[in-house]
Amino acid sequence: MYVVKVNYKDENCVSILTELLKTIITNKTVIICIGTDRCIGDSLGPIIGTMLKNSDYKYPVYGTLESPIHALNIYESLKEIREKHPDGMFIALDACLGDKENIGNIQIRKGPILPGKGVGKTLPQIGDYSIVAIVDQIDEDIKFTFNNIRLNFIVEMSEIIATSIILAT
């Protein structure tokens, strides 16, 4: 069940996301950004993490361009984060695949994300809340699209999400 779904081109996108995030973010919030900078379509999480870190965001942020959380290190990263923040309220962010008509939508929902699901991987779920951005369509034949995604599209969505998180605190 989605708490909110809004397209990044909607002129009220930042205010819609910010207002909802104000009801979610607490002093126990920990932001976990999933993805890798080795694939443009999957770089949304680390770009947001870097934007938040560069803004001196007041709550802990994990997963940046410098230190991404991805399929190869997710188990150890999540273990370390949970040990550091045993009472943390985790908000996980990731890019995801969806139906063609939903590309560009940003969704915030209660419950975890399932990293890697769209590309056929089984990785640990994470997050009390999740923020996902649909960056490309699911292609059942290929199982790994992210092929023709423009970096500008990812950066625009990242800026909207990072701005909304910052304004919500």
How do the domains of the chain map onto residue ranges?
2-167
pLDDT at 139: 73
- Kindly list the strands in the beta sheet with 61-62, ordered across the sheet, starting from the edge strand earlier in the chain: 2-7, 105-110, 129-137, 89-98, 29-33, 61-62
- Residue-wise pLDDT for 83-116, tens only, equals 999 999 999 999 999 999 999 999 999 999 988 7
* Domain 2-167 in CATH 3.40.50.10860: no
pLDDT at 7: 97
Q: What pTM does this model have?
A: 0.92
Rounded to an integer, what is the distance from CA 158 to the centroid of its chain?
9
Q: Which has the higher per-residue pLDDT, 143 or 56? A: 56
